[in-house]
Amino acid sequence: MSLPLPRGLQGNPDRAAVFFLQNCATCHGTSGDGEGPRAYFINPPPRNFLLASSRQRLNRPTLFNAISKGIVGSEMPAWSKVLSDQEIADLAEFVFQTFISAPQDNKEPGNSGK
């Protein structure tokens, strides 16, 4: 869970917050639940970062790679085409701190996404 970002990068989640809301929340939702306004048109559905299975599997390197390279067979684009490694690191850190490692209440979130 505490694995560092690749290439010695240090992510700054504050720099990525606006980007996430403008570009990622349309699919992943503002709360990371995978229920953004575009989510209903996407198959497979966008990742729900709040599910226990997501929180157990996703770490900084996994997030960095998924953001950078995209996810084959899904709508997740390869952001390395338009973002620098530092911007991807910032975004990975934002997702990690905001949704993956953040304390959650005991309620199981909705089951959309993987």
What pLDDT band is residue 108 in, cutting at 50, 70 and 90? very low
Report the C-alpha gap between 16 and 111 in whole angstroms: 26
Does residue 105 surpass a pLDDT of 90? no
Q: pLDDT tens, 43-85?
A: 999 999 999 999 999 999 999 999 999 999 999 999 999 999 9
Does residue 54 belong to any structural domain of this protein?
Answer: yes
The reply to whether 58 falls in a domain is yes
- What SS3 state is found at 110? coil
Structural domain boundaries enclosing 37: 6-100
Tell whether 105 is covered by a domain: no
Write the CATH number for 20: 1.10.760.10
Q: How many domains does the chain have?
A: 1
Q: Give, in order, the Cα–Cα distances in Å from 49 to each of 8, 56, 97.
A: 24, 10, 11
Instruction: Note the pTM of the prediction, 2 decimals.
Output: 0.89
